[in-house]
Amino acid sequence: MYINPYGADPVTLAADLANRRPRTTRELVDRCREAGVTIDRSASDADLDEVDTFLDAWLVVVDTTAPHGRADALNALLAEHSAPPRLTDHDGHWHVHYRADDVSFARLLTAMFAVGTALHLTSRGIDRLARCAADDCDAVFADTTRNGRKTYCSTRCTNRCAVRRHRARA
């Protein structure tokens, strides 16, 4: 997966995996491939466990709303899961990796998620990662909207809450 300067793709995939945890290694690999991750190494059950553990720590970033606290939580993930940036052309074009070449499948993903989240929060705003505002939903989302005012995880939750507000006024 190409990490664009805004980090939208990795942070969106991290949110999707946090909301619907993969139950098998095959499911993890398939969902990553569908999201555009280049799969160039094998994955094991240990990778699934490591990604699951990372997502628990990543949710601390989501649930920490104070800007400095959120930055501290994300900095801890970056320190543990990423490496200094370096140029590579392993797939025919030059780009930056934030990890070593020989890392496990899980470490490839966790580095991508940590760096993608950092890019997303620094380019779009430190508050652009949240849980759905619907009372009956706790899904996570990365706000990639232009105006930065997304409060619900999906159109479905947005519409359900709008209907509830309308009925409450009637």
Q: What is the pLDDT of residue 5?
A: 60
> Do 124 and 117 form a contact (C-beta atoms < 8 A)?
no
Q: Is the pLDDT of residue 170 over 90?
A: no
Q: How confident is the model at residue 3 (pLDDT cuts 50, 70, 90)?
A: low
Contacts of 35 (CB under 8 A, 6+ apart): 1, 9, 12, 13, 16
Q: Is the pLDDT of residue 144 over 70?
A: yes
Q: How far are the Cα atoms of 53, 99, 100, 167, 168 from residue 103, in angstroms, in the given order?
A: 17, 7, 6, 53, 54
Name the average pLDDT for the chain. Answer: 94
Which segment of 48-57, 74-83, 94-103 scores lowest on mean pLDDT? 94-103
What does the domain layout of the chain look like in residue ranges?
8-169
Report the chain's terminal Cα–Cα distance, integer Å.
48
The single residue listed with the structure tokens 């930055």 is 71
Name which of 55, 63, 73 is nearest 17 in CA terms. 55
Read off the tokens for 54: 């990372």
Q: 81-131 pLDDT, tens per residue?
A: 999 999 988 878 888 889 988 999 999 999 999 999 999 999 999 999 999
Read off the tokens for 88: 């590579």
* CATH 1.10.357.10 corresponds to the domain 8-169: no
Q: Is the pLDDT of residue 64 over 90?
A: yes
Q: What percent of the chain has pLDDT over 70?
A: 96
Phi, psi (degrees; rounded to nearest 5) at 93: -140, 150
Q: Is the pLDDT of residue 2 over 70?
A: no
Report the pLDDT averaged over residues 36-44.
93
